[in-house]
Chain A
């Protein structure tokens, strides 16, 4: 059952798209939707030794990266990550056929993949994102900062051209205040949540209103404690920061380093 295709039939224009790698014997959900492809080939497993790769057929002559493509990659992996460790591939991994998946990806790198899956056992990733309520955060910044208040009053009622430089000054002061706030809030996020995570990665919040963006590697038996702590933080920040908890996702942010072996098979 190493491949579903007939042997010896080279398929022109069709390759194998790889989503990720799971331990052999893993049952994947039936209703997974693959990257869009004519003929709707469905998602399959290519097995080699202790490993299985999650794959689907894909045209090699169209560029990848539509919204549907991207969401399909993520959703297939997330659905699997609900109950089993999975090593996610970066988007866009295509090889010629399923044989190549077994012979060139799984078999030669078996040791690393098996070890990585072992390390990921019982662990799952969550992403916590928070956005400031714009009005609330601006209000607080203005309230807390006499200099900003002064600038505001100075500008009030003035013609836009006349107040041009003061407006820039005001905007800069607000932006600096927001950066300081982000720093504080990153700490305030880690403080109550870190203890429930095996590892954390603090990421760029992004966007005008981005407040926090942290990835957590959580043990599945700590999951409910973790989620409760997130809820408490959400309540404490209600109206100021809108929190979203995404996951469980495949552990994209916590993959063990791959060290290429010395010998080079040519």
Chain B
């Protein structure tokens, strides 16, 4: 009953005659009523699965088995960490993340620098550049599969190869990962561009005016004004893209299916194969998922620490 208030005293004033007793909710109760649905949803959909999957990572369990989870301690973690094949997939993911995020940063920042200057139809061009990131990754994957086709696709043609003469990007193990990187850059460089553009537009004009008065060179202006001012937003973009690169799944499944061989088998793709059909090794899959999570948290922390340093300097 702590939520219910008593009726206030009226001191005999007829105008303040007590109304029939009505129970009123306290502010605290109302507050809880508003928060409770969200909290319940959060606990049911996020917190509980998080801790339950942590528990499952210490068990031998298959989600489709009638048998209950069997405690195996650190067995699953030991299996994951001693599996050479999984380390190969981690290495492929690392290479992919480095190449994709690096190129997206360069290209995105470069585009933002170009589009910062207003010119005829610059708004329209900006909107057009943003279109790829609004598409479904699976659709993009399937679409680019056609574009990469050495016989009928346009990609090799644009590189100057005649039909059937150029490289088979998705068949060659040395090129397949680059094919995925190219598509990822095409899709997500606009995202980096968008964040950089908002950072560039927020730089006060007087900083440049002061620099011009001091006869600072364009390079000096870029290095000492533009880059430090944009760096926090740029780093946030890099952080998001790095996290996404470690989670990349749908684009790869649509484009290469993880092949040829294990050339594009990113860790998230292999996690799917372990945790879902046909293997359904839920316990092992949970352990791998937690290892990926720890890795992403560690990388994110590095970024955030750098970000804080930059903010301190700016």
A and B found bound together: no
